[in-house]
Chains A and B, each alone.
Chain A
Amino acid sequence: MSRFSKATLAAALAIGLAGGVTGALADGKYSGVGRAATPAEIHAWDIDVRPDFKGLRPGRGSVAQGEEVWEAKCASCHGSFGESNEVHTPLIGGTTKDDIKTGRVASLAKGDAPQRTAIMKVATVSTLFDYINRAMPLTAPKSLSNDEVYGLVAYLLNQAEVVPADFTLSDKNIAEAQARMPNRNGMNTDHGMWPGASAARDGIGNGGKPDVKNTACMSHCKTEVKIASLLPVYAEAAHGNIAEQNRPVGPVRGKDTSGKAAAPAAAAPLSENAAATKLAADNGCMACHGTANKIVGPGYNEVAAKYKGQADAESKLVAKLKAGGQGVWGAIPMPAQTQLKDEDARRLVKWILSGAKAQ
């Protein structure tokens, strides 16, 4: 025991001396707890950048320099232009010259954008700098130099046409870039969901006033119960076998959604789309494909887009389904769907090419 504590003490002393940690302890109630932080320690961790650029360290990087780093360290996940949907929602796209003028991304109000990219949402350029600096690239965060981060932000802003191709971003001119951010006027803090002081008291929001008011009516509260939405067939099958996600005893059991259960008694005939949806679920297609997103294989929307207008697509894809294969969408193979009857394979392909609608 005594040897152990001596060793610990020696180690503690060594660390204390090596780090030069001799700052006076705050002489408070909890004496002996904690120690002064050194300036070097604070400098090492205090990397945050605020919207007013407090915390931003001097530096510079051009669009061209940024592009080089981007291609080497970012494009594999986000695409060459920040457009990729592969591992995350796209960073760039969906903003216009007009948005840069107004500072409001118009398609957000119209609701016609296929997806909301980062540049459509973000109001503050500091956010991009701070986040890339602290967290990207995903597998090697905090490996970028300060100037590389300036270059990367410049490159992304250029992709969104916020800055020209010959632009060099620096701590001196970053405010100019801020003044052209496409959604800089797109944030609203007038709501009741900030738990601190209200805007009226130099904080944020309305002081906690809710925006929706229900009343606790107890009887005859309405004349009609309108079911506005039901669970789509594919969503049930896509979440594994629910029977295995419930306890085997008690008042209820989980429903068998394995698709292996006996065929149900003939019900009302399904619409063509509903029948194909069910077929896709029953054949396990939805485990690897989303209707609107990639899972293991491509999203059906991507398949439909790729083969749009190609007359021979249907027979080609039917053959591919039966035989399986790889290389069209990536290195991962699709297993041969040998269980499929020819007419079912054709039905599925037709459905996919027509947009894979549920109903």
Chain B
Amino acid sequence: MAEHPTHRGRIRPAPENFLSEADIAAVKEGRRDFLRKALITASAAVAAPGLARAAEGDPNILTLPPWTTSLGQAVAAHPYGLPSQYEKGLQRRESPGLTRMPQVSVAFTPLQGLFGIITPSGLHFERHHQGWSDIDPSRHRLMVHGTDEGFVKQPKVYTMDDILRLPPVSRMHFIECGANTGMEWGNVAVPTVQYSHGMLSCSEFTGVPLRLLLEDCGVDWKKAKYVLAEGADGSSMTRTIPIELVQSDEVLVAYGQNGEMLRPENGYPLRLVVPGVQGVSWVKWLRRIEVGDQPWATKDEAIHYIDLMPDGRHRQYTSTQECKSVITTPSGGQLLLDKGFYNISGLAWSGRGKIKRVDVSTDGGVNWRPARIEGPVLSKCLTRFNIDWAWDGKPAVLQSRAVDETGYVQPAYGQLRAVRGTKSIYHNNAIQSWKVVESGEVSNVQVL
């Protein structure tokens, strides 16, 4: 352990958090020890008079810090708890220039710093088409009816009181925007996994199966082929959902997210959960369900969320999020601090079911090793994978490749482009590559 720098439990943002170009140049010149020096200097500066003691040991051990030698803060100082002040780097962010109005935009989840499979609710990605509102739940209504009489026996209106009375289920599922990684179809465009893959989140959702509500209204399963889901926001977002998914009991009318109510940005007080299907179908602020027998070709299934193919036609009603994975650390924009052991960690998911396997390559896809899959492995849910890696300080290209329970293997960029070209915008599930250079710098690259 003496070989390793002591970068633990820093009190203040110390200089080693921000490697300068000069530091990087130093590494490039082979002075790999610079980091250790920088760290010791930094520690010394924080815990003066550390310099004299540096030889004896870590001043963070030898000089007791204030939290060990004083009374801490009171309970409920934050009635709704907040992350540590040192975690402020991990926030939702917009990608500059991607959209032109902040109400009609997207904020990405900082996947580069998250663990496990659950996305903290405050970091769940945001995509709104006409801004978000904090809806008064006592004034929110859900209407269920048919395109004509005959699709349901009794059209009904439910209040939140009603919905919360019904028997709930809780399920963990990923939600991914159909345009996730869309900026990268033609070439590398963004620096980090937050921007390349951050329209991806995963939560435990609690709600009522939509099937239960349709049955409560006396749906005619023989006539019903599709449902239209509609939001209560200004855009009154609408999407067509296949009845088979509703019948399978998977589609939920959800109010709960990670143990509390949905966040307003994620549809408070009610949203649709459509496991395995792109986020736009998970209609937020859900106000209406119409049962019918033809798809609706709504704006977001006829002008957007359609995939342009090389023959000039658009694929319409593409909804399933196919099997995909990404290494979240080390990933683009990060710096490896030294040679030696690293845990490569990432996420895998499939809109067609469970993840069966994830393979990882550190040589750009020439050789692969199976990664450790961390439990639980759930259908249409994020799955965390990890694998050991000893970095020898030489250039490397890190990739992950997921396989789902249908046997589908996540494709390479070359394979995907051969069929779909580069202008599809939506549904880019290609294998992601991160290049590592001698300085430890990791960057976004594409390997065909």
- Count contacts between A and B, CB distance < 8 Å: 395
Question: Are the C-beta atoms of A239 and B299 separated by less than 8 Å?
Answer: no
Question: Are the C-beta atoms of A195 and B320 separated by less than 8 Å?
Answer: yes
Chain B minimum-CB-distance residue to A240: B93
Q: How far is the CA of A195 from the CA of B143 in the complex (A)?
A: 24
B residues contacting the other copy or chain, number (CB 8 A): 149
Q: How far is the CA of A195 from the CA of B386 in the complex (A)?
A: 30
A311 at the interface (CB under 8 A from B): no
Question: Are the C-beta atoms of B162 and A245 separated by less than 8 Å?
Answer: no
Question: Are the C-beta atoms of A195 and B298 separated by less than 8 Å?
Answer: no
Which chain A residues border B79 with CB–CB below 8 Å? none
Question: Are the C-beta atoms of A242 and B333 separated by less than 8 Å?
Answer: yes
A70 to chain B, nearest CB (A): 18
Which chain B residues border A35 with CB–CB below 8 Å? 156-157
Question: Are the C-beta atoms of A263 and B298 separated by less than 8 Å?
Answer: no
Per-residue CB contact flags for chain B residues 170-182 toward chain A (1 = under 8 Å, else 0) read: 0000000000000
Which chain B residues border A204 with CB–CB below 8 Å? 242, 295, 317
Question: Are the C-beta atoms of B130 and A105 separated by less than 8 Å?
Answer: no
Question: Are the C-beta atoms of B315 and A42 separated by less than 8 Å?
Answer: no
Which chain B residues border A216 with CB–CB below 8 Å? 357, 359, 368, 401, 403, 409
Q: How far is the CA of A221 from the CA of B183 in the complex (A)?
A: 28
Question: Are the C-beta atoms of B158 and A131 separated by less than 8 Å?
Answer: no
Which chain A residues border B143 with CB–CB below 8 Å? 37, 41-42, 45
Q: How far is the CA of A242 from the CA of B334 in the complex (A)?
A: 8
Q: How far is the CA of A293 from the CA of B276 in the complex (A)?
A: 33
Question: Are the C-beta atoms of A287 and B419 separated by less than 8 Å?
Answer: no
Question: Are the C-beta atoms of B319 and A194 separated by less than 8 Å?
Answer: yes
Which chain B residues border A34 with CB–CB below 8 Å? 156-158, 162, 216
A264 at the interface (CB under 8 A from B): yes
Taking CB atoms and an 8 Å cut-off, the chain A residues in 14-55 that contact chain B are 23-26, 28-30, 33-37, 41-42, 45-48, 50-52, 54-55
B80 at the interface (CB under 8 A from A): no
A88 at the interface (CB under 8 A from B): yes
B397 at the interface (CB under 8 A from A): yes
Q: How far is the CA of A76 from the CA of B414 in the complex (A)?
A: 42
Candidates A30, A135, A186, A254; contact of B166 at CB < 8 Å: A30
Candidates B19, B298, B410; contact of A127 at CB < 8 Å: B298
B397 to chain A, nearest CB (A): 6
Candidates B299, B313, B435; contact of A186 at CB < 8 Å: B313
Which chain A residues border B156 with CB–CB below 8 Å? 26, 34-37
B169 at the interface (CB under 8 A from A): no
Question: Are the C-beta atoms of A231 and B445 separated by less than 8 Å?
Answer: yes
Q: How far is the CA of A214 from the CA of B448 in the complex (A)?
A: 12
Q: Given A46-B288, A121-B303, A245-B333, A88–B100 Cβ distance below 8 Å?
A: yes
Q: How far is the CA of A231 from the CA of B311 in the complex (A)?
A: 28
Question: Are the C-beta atoms of A235 and B145 separated by less than 8 Å?
Answer: no
Taking CB atoms and an 8 Å cut-off, the chain B residues in 1-24 that contact chain A are 7-10, 13-14, 16-22, 24
Q: How far is the CA of A250 from the CA of B312 in the complex (A)?
A: 47
Question: Are the C-beta atoms of A130 and B299 separated by less than 8 Å?
Answer: yes
Question: Are the C-beta atoms of B290 and A235 separated by less than 8 Å?
Answer: no
Which chain A residues border B218 with CB–CB below 8 Å? 26, 28
Question: Are the C-beta atoms of B112 and A195 separated by less than 8 Å?
Answer: no
Q: How far is the CA of A189 from the CA of B272 in the complex (A)?
A: 24
Chain B CB within 10 A, most for which of A36, A46, A134, A251:
A251
Per-residue CB contact flags for chain B residues 388-420 toward chain A (1 = under 8 Å, else 0) read: 000000000100010100001111111110111
Taking CB atoms and an 8 Å cut-off, the chain A residues in 177-236 that contact chain B are 186-189, 191-197, 202-205, 208, 210-222, 225-232, 235-236
A268 at the interface (CB under 8 A from B): no
A74 to chain B, nearest CB (A): 15
Chain A minimum-CB-distance residue to B332: A231
A274 at the interface (CB under 8 A from B): no
Q: How far is the CA of A228 from the CA of B444 in the complex (A)?
A: 11
Chain B minimum-CB-distance residue to A190: B315
Which chain A residues border B363 with CB–CB below 8 Å? 225
Taking CB atoms and an 8 Å cut-off, the chain B residues in 232-250 that contact chain A are 234-236, 238, 242-245
A126 at the interface (CB under 8 A from B): yes
A149 at the interface (CB under 8 A from B): no
Question: Are the C-beta atoms of A265 and B368 separated by less than 8 Å?
Answer: no
B123 at the interface (CB under 8 A from A): no
Q: How far is the CA of A274 from the CA of B237 in the complex (A)?
A: 43
Taking CB atoms and an 8 Å cut-off, the chain B residues in 129-155 that contact chain A are 129-130, 143-145, 147, 153-155
B57 at the interface (CB under 8 A from A): no
Q: How far is the CA of A214 from the CA of B245 in the complex (A)?
A: 27
Which chain B residues border A142 with CB–CB below 8 Å? 234, 236
Q: How far is the CA of A50 from the CA of B295 in the complex (A)?
A: 8
Per-residue CB contact flags for chain B residues 25-47 toward chain A (1 = under 8 Å, else 0) read: 10011000000000000000000
Question: Are the C-beta atoms of A235 and B165 separated by less than 8 Å?
Answer: no
Taking CB atoms and an 8 Å cut-off, the chain B residues in 327-384 that contact chain A are 329-330, 332-337, 342-343, 351-352, 357, 359, 363-369
Which chain A residues border B95 with CB–CB below 8 Å? 239
B230 at the interface (CB under 8 A from A): yes
Candidates A33, A220, A242, A263; contact of B192 at CB < 8 Å: A242
Candidates B97, B322, B435; contact of A295 at CB < 8 Å: B97
Chain B CB within 10 A, most for which of A126, A141, A247, A263:
A247
Per-residue CB contact flags for chain A residues 122-134 toward chain B (1 = under 8 Å, else 0) read: 1110110011001
Per-residue CB contact flags for chain B residues 73-96 toward chain A (1 = under 8 Å, else 0) read: 000000000000011011101011
Question: Are the C-beta atoms of A187 and B367 separated by less than 8 Å?
Answer: no
A72 at the interface (CB under 8 A from B): no
Which chain A residues border B318 with CB–CB below 8 Å? 191, 193-194
Which chain A residues border B319 with CB–CB below 8 Å? 193-195
Which chain A residues border B309 with CB–CB below 8 Å? 188
Q: How far is the CA of A219 from the CA of B342 in the complex (A)?
A: 22
**Chain A to chain B contacts (Cβ below 8 Å), 10 pairs:** A48-B298, A110-B312, A138-B130, A194-B319, A197-B244, A230-B443, A247-B89, A248-B10, A249-B8, A295-B97
Given A221-B367, A239-B96, 16 further pairs, Cβ under 8 A: A36-B154, A88-B104, A108-B308, A193-B322, A204-B317, A216-B409, A220-B367, A226-B447, A229-B188, A231-B444, A235-B190, A236-B443, A247-B89, A253-B17, A254-B335, A261-B22
Q: Which residues of B contact A (CB under 8 A)?
A: 7-10, 13-14, 16-22, 24-25, 28-29, 86-87, 89-91, 93, 95-97, 100-101, 104, 110, 112-113, 129-130, 143-145, 147, 153-158, 162, 165-166, 187-192, 194-195, 212, 215-218, 225-226, 228, 230, 234-236, 238, 242-245, 276-277, 287-288, 290, 292, 294-299, 302-303, 306, 308-320, 322, 329-330, 332-337, 342-343, 351-352, 357, 359, 363-369, 397, 401, 403, 408-416, 418-420, 423, 427, 433, 435, 441-448
